[in-house]
């Protein structure tokens, strides 16, 4: 009695024309385990629709599984050939709950459902004894403790719902986060720590935010994050509060605090770092206006920062970045024919705005990049003089934008490209991975293999990832 195979081999139309629609559906569902109500069986009608069973072949063996499947179907049980989301009961023999969960996780991953094992309590893990007793009774018997392998709920607590590699450079994090509300809240705490010069705490919150941004779906309960890397008690507490109450008191009070607001305003001045801002804050200077009234001595950069404060705090758009890119290219070609310009930083990762625009310059002939930046800046300054003069005659027809220019010799170009594309956390984890996992030292200039005592050459980012034993992650996936 091999119902599925028989149904497929025989042409049902010929056997019983009136049964065609039913038979067709049967055939389809026996090939594809996403079943319809008629489901997966042979000539036996399904009596027990509520229980969708799946028998695990592991340790049971295929012939015993086939026998038990036929037996169950003959008694009206709904039994699936393959595991799917519709399964409610997983039956196994001689397996522990952990073993079954591990199998289910890997089955889900092979099916492309990364990080999404079946959500408890949708599926129950039962011992074969429940099945044989049910066969004996001819109906699904009540589930007793002795039938259950391990409550899925317990397993859910032990096993993380998502699998997340611990280094940001092992994961592709795009700009499309499913948990932006949560990660933004943690970023506030990260920034607050950074403004208080607590780098360790800042990085910890950045890491937690990055893990949330990596997750394949929006999380609805903090417990779902249990066991994930980088999510410490503090971050979990904040996440839980936001999920339950809509906001976190700590985050909200941080955003409102004098120190946070003042430090943001003051470090928002180009040329002002955390130390200077903190010194001013302690003197009672909390705003740009108070700084201007204070008579504090400002260096040349800071004076420019104050002068162009509002321009420089307005985000740069991609269109502006492209326009500036053309201008920089024109300058570069004018002062050094053959030299090349590449957009780096956040815009290379696909961001649509940035706090500045970053470019990497190089020249195909090693050595010819020497002095390139000075020439480019001089050329641009000459242009700026002309356009400022134009501006005086009419109204202000320009705005200040911060542009970072980086130059590298061709032999270091791939390292500079990788090092300046970001994000900052991605870069940090690349270097940490290199050091901790590969005994290598990575910078924006080179990769040094400490064990071999030599530098490793690379002409592309792909080669550097390969040297590091990492899967290549394109710029769009480096938004950790």
356 binding ligand 8DG? (CB under 6 A): yes
Stretch that binds ligand 8DG, among 31-39, 162-170, 344-352, 382-390 (CB under 6 A): 344-352
Shortest Cβ distance from residue 376 to ligand 8DG (Å)?
18
**In contact, 462 and 418? CB cutoff 8 Å:** no
* Residue 366: both structure tokens together: 């090693």
Stretch that binds ligand 8DG, among 15-23, 231-239, 305-313, 421-429 (CB under 6 A): 421-429
346 binding ligand 8DG? (CB under 6 A): yes
Question: E-assigned strands of 266-356?
Answer: 316-317, 340-344, 353-354
**In contact, 171 and 430? CB cutoff 8 Å:** no
**Strands ordered across the beta sheet of 357-362:** 340-344, 357-362, 403-407
Residue 444 interaction partner, one of ligand 8DG, Ca ion, none, beta carbon < 5-8 Å per kind: ligand 8DG
Shortest Cβ distance from residue 358 to Ca ion (Å)?
4
Binding mask 342-371 for Ca ion (x = CB under 5 A): ---xx-------x-x-x-------------
> What residues numbered 103-142 form the site for Ca ion, per CB under 5 A?
none
Shortest Cβ distance from residue 346 to Ca ion (Å)?
5
Identify which of residues 296 and 444 has a Cβ nearer to ligand 8DG in the complex: 444
358 has catalytic annotation: yes
**In contact, 373 and 412? CB cutoff 8 Å:** no
* Residue 228: both structure tokens together: 């994930």
C-alpha to C-alpha distances, 373 to 39, 54, 242, 293, 325, nearest whole angstrom: 70, 67, 47, 36, 14
Q: Which of 202, 422, 475, 477 binds ligand 8DG (CB under 6 A)?
A: 422
Strands 357-362 and 353-354: unpaired
Residue 3 interaction partner, one of ligand 8DG, Ca ion, none, beta carbon < 5-8 Å per kind: none
What is the C-alpha separation between 9 and 29, in angstroms, rounded?
A: 15
Stretch that binds ligand 8DG, among 71-79, 140-148, 165-173, 346-354 (CB under 6 A): 346-354
Shortest Cβ distance from residue 171 to ligand 8DG (Å)?
17
Non-local (6+) Cβ contacts of 166 within 8 A are 229, 230
Non-local (6+) Cβ contacts of 273 within 8 A are 267
| From 322, 404, 459, 471, the catalytic residue | 404
15 binding ligand 8DG? (CB under 6 A): no
Q: Give the single-character DSSP code of 240.
A: H
Q: Which of 195, 423, 433, 442 binds ligand 8DG (CB under 6 A)?
A: 423
Phi-psi region of 78 (alpha: psi -120 to 50; beta: other; left: phi over 0): beta
419 binding Ca ion? (CB under 5 A): no
**In contact, 281 and 259? CB cutoff 8 Å:** yes
What is the C-alpha separation between 175 and 475, in angstroms, rounded?
A: 11
471 has catalytic annotation: no
| From 7, 127, 358, 429, the catalytic residue | 358
427 binding ligand 8DG? (CB under 6 A): yes
420 binding ligand 8DG? (CB under 6 A): yes
258 has catalytic annotation: no
Residue 292 interaction partner, one of Ca ion, ligand 8DG, none, beta carbon < 5-8 Å per kind: none
Q: What angle do CA 315, 321, 322 make, to 5 degrees?
A: 150
Residue 166 interaction partner, one of ligand 8DG, Ca ion, none, beta carbon < 5-8 Å per kind: none
User: Which residue, 207, 115, 114, 123, is CA-closest to 159?
Assistant: 115
Q: Which residues bind ligand 8DG (CB under 6 A)?
A: 345-346, 351, 354-356, 358, 419-420, 422-424, 427, 444
Q: Catalytic residue numbers? A: 356, 358, 404
Q: Which residues bind Ca ion (CB under 5 A)?
A: 345-346, 354, 356, 358, 404
């Amino acid at each position: 009695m091999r119902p599925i195979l028989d149904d497929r081999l025989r042409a049902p139309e010929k056997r019983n024309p009136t049964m065609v629609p039913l038979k067709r559906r049967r055939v389809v569902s026996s090939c594809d385990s996403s079943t319809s109500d008629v489901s997966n069986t042979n000539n036996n009608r399904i009596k027990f629709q509520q229980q969708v069973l799946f028998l695990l072949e592991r340790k049971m063996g295929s012939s015993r599984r086939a026998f038990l499947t036929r037996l169950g179907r003959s008694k009206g049980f709904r039994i699936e050939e393959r595991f799917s989301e519709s399964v409610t009961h997983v039956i196994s023999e001689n397996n522990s709950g952990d073993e079954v969960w591990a199998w289910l996780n890997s089955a889900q991953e092979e099916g492309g459902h990364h990080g999404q094992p079946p959500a408890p309590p949708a599926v129950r893990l039962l011992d074969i004894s429940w099945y044989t007793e049910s066969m004996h009774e001819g109906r699904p018997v009540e589930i007793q403790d002795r039938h259950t392998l391990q409550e899925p709920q317990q397993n859910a607590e032990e096993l993380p719902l998502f699998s997340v590699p611990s280094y940001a450079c092992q994961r592709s994090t795009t700009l499309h986060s499913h948990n932006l509300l949560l990660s933004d809240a943690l970023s506030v705490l990260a920034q607050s720590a950074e403004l208080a010069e607590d780098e360790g705490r800042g990085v910890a919150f950045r890491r937690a935010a990055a893990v949330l941004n990596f997750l394949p779906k929006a999380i609805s309960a903090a417990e779902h994050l249990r066991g994930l890397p980088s999510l410490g008690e503090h971050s979990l507490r904040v996440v839980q509060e936001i999920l339950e109450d809509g906001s976190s008191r700590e985050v909200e009070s941080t955003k409102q605090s004098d120190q946070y607001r003042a430090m943001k305003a003051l470090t928002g001045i180009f040329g002002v770092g955390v130390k200077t801002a903190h010194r001013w804050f302690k003197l009672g200077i909390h705003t740009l206006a108070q700084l201007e009234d204070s008579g504090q001595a400002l260096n040349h950069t800071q004076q420019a920062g104050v002068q162009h404060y509002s321009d420089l705090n307005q985000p740069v758009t991609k269109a502006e970045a492209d326009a500036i890119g053309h201008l920089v290219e024109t300058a570069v070609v004018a002062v050094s024919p053959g030299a090349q310009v590449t957009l780096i930083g956040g815009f290379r990762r696909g961001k649509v705005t940035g706090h500045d625009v970053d470019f990497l310059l190089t020249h195909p002939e090693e050595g010819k990049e020497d002095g390139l930046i000075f020439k480019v800046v001089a050329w641009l300054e000459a242009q700026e003089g002309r356009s400022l003069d134009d501006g005086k005659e009419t109204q202000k027809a320009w705005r200040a934008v911060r542009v970072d220019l980086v130059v590298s010799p061709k032999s270091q170009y791939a390292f500079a490209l990788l090092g300046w594309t970001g994000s900052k956390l991605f870069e940090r984890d690349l270097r940490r991975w290199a050091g901790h996992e590969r005994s290598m030292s990575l910078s924006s200039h080179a990769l040094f293999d400490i064990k071999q005592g030599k530098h490793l050459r690379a002409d592309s980012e792909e080669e550097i990832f390969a040297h590091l034993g990492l899967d290549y992650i394109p710029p769009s996936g480096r938004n950790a």
